[in-house]
Amino acid sequence: MRVVITGGSGLIGSEVARDLGSAGHEIVILTRNPTKAELPPNTRAVQWDGRTATGWSNLIDGDTAILHLAGESIASGRWSDAKKRRIRESRVDSGKAVLAAIRQASEKPRVLLQGSAVGYYGPCGDEVVTESHPPGSDFLAGVCVDWEGSTAEAESLGVRRALLRTGIVLSPKGGALPKMALPFRLMAGGPIGSGRQWVPWIHIADEVGAIRFLIEREDARGPFNLAAPRPLTNRDFSHALGKALHRPSFAPAPGFALRTVLGEMADMLLYGQRAVPHRLLEMGYAFRYPEALPALRNLLD
């Protein structure tokens, strides 16, 4: 099978490419800078402008899976109006390009896995959030709704589509974990804000495993929460992180200070979702790391 990945040089895409490439699948990463891409086995990079189907729609046939992960990082820099516009447009424009490529293909792909996030649900307090929960009304929820909607037409074209509503992916190679761990390494770690907000985390091995599971399961369609089955409050997650690093976890980061430094982006840290992977579990996916402490020890050791 050929797997075409947008955003394939990012944290998740590169690990999926490595996993599926080592299993013998042909991997194509779409990137603006093919010469700079670090490629795992059975992987090649193809030039892509992020906005059109030019130069790659011919790669699609009946034995192709498309994994659409491309989008501006939400965790770098304050959310100015220009930054928020780039966050939204990068996702929607690239999604429309994926849809255009599917329209142009003489044979439709076997599956499209559409990137999204648990931010789709907005702040939900202590409510347990499954895939049937309605979308929120904040900025990130609106971005996720538009991102998912950008490829919705693929279903009417006969393409199976699964929506990847991903939580906080934990990996030592990048993303949130190294930034979360740094204060603890400096003996200054602890809960953020009230500490009562929920952390919908997932180990990188399970993120990759769930994506592979959804590619291979012909009956997998619609939204899936990619988060561990046992989310924790920020206070409990901070305690587990401190324990995994053999560091104390009692120095809180006040919410007002985060807002001063990060602006609106602080809401990502101060509010959360008690998201659970109801549909993944229902379909029989077995998590390698359902508990936070063993997951963090595995990643940080």
pLDDT surpasses 90 at 115: yes
Dihedral sign for Cα atoms in the order 147, 265, 278, 215: positive
Instruction: Look at residue 193 in the predicted model and tell me its pLDDT.
Output: 86
Assign 133 a pLDDT band (cuts: 50, 70, 90): very high
Structural domain contains residue 246? no
Assign 257 a pLDDT band (cuts: 50, 70, 90): low
Total structural domains within the chain = 1
Structural domain contains residue 183? no
List, for residues 28-85, the tens digit of each pLDDT value. Answer: 999 888 877 778 888 999 999 999 999 899 999 999 999 999 998 887 777 788 989 9
pLDDT surpasses 90 at 183: no
Instruction: Look at residue 263 in the predicted model and tell me its pLDDT.
Output: 62
Structural domain contains residue 135? yes
Instruction: Look at residue 101 in the predicted model and tell me its pLDDT.
Output: 97
Domain that holds residue 54: 2-167+200-227
Distance CA 230, CA 208 (A): 18
Instruction: Look at residue 182 in the predicted model and tell me its pLDDT.
Output: 87
Instruction: Look at residue 268 in the predicted model and tell me its pLDDT.
Output: 64
Structural domain contains residue 115? yes
Name the average pLDDT for the chain. 91
Instruction: Look at residue 86 in the predicted model and tell me its pLDDT.
Output: 94
Residue range 217-243: average pLDDT? 96
234 Cβ contact list (under 8 Å, min separation 6): 191, 192, 193, 194, 195, 196, 197, 198, 199, 269, 272
Structural domain contains residue 76? yes
pLDDT surpasses 60 at 262: no
- Which CATH number is 207's domain given? 3.40.50.720
Residue range 114-128: average pLDDT? 96
Instruction: Look at residue 255 in the predicted model and tell me its pLDDT.
Output: 58
Structural domain contains residue 99? yes
